[in-house]
Structure 1
Amino acid sequence: MLSKKYRISSTLFKELKSNKPTLNIVGSYFYLKYYKDSEPRFGFVIQKRHVSKATTRNLLKRRLSSIVFLNISKFKPGNYVFITKRPISKEVNYEKINIEINYFLSEVFKS
């Protein structure tokens, strides 16, 4: 699990929703909204309409959090919000999510 200093607080999340992101990246399963900031912070939004079961939503959040935690040194400063793009099933395993996160990293560093 990510430590508190790397998580986006609810008040910051509300502020970010009203601001335009610096960069939008679309992947196979997620959107990434990147906002420039002084240190990396992360938020995960798994929409109920895309993943109906709470256990599956929590599983996806834990997987995302774990992948981000293992790659935290690779992220440049900013706020990263991952949002589900379409319905996702349990078949989306750790490896597929990891590949998508690495794709997002490469796109953020291009900008």
Structure 2
Amino acid sequence: MLYIHNSLLVYHGNLKSSNCVVTSRWVLQVTDFGLHELRQGAESDSIGEHQYYRSLLWKAPELLRGSTGRGSRGNVVKGSQKGDVYAFAIILYELLGRRGPFGQTSYDPK
């Protein structure tokens, strides 16, 4: 994260466990740099509503306050360095607890 925060990118903005991959040499690499920026202008109905809300589980609360729901995805606050730190903490919780972002909570839509 230090590399990202000191680069021109400044923050990742979409950090979550599915964007972290391990190479054949056991080196962790973070993916999806700026892809969410490119997809914002595209049709957002390609992902389902359940997947959209599930992706928000790694967003920091202060970033979620800027969003007002599914109908206004373009208004979601993009990210911040503090948001990356929050997402990293959720990923560490997943690794240490061997569970999802919030333990054994059911993520099925009701």
TM-score, normalisation: structure 1: 0.32
Q: Which has the higher contact order (CA 8 A, sep 6+)?
A: 1
- Kindly indicate which of the two structures has a greater share of residues assigned to strand: 1
Larger radius of gyration: 2
- Kindly indicate which of the two structures has a greater share of residues assigned to helix: 2
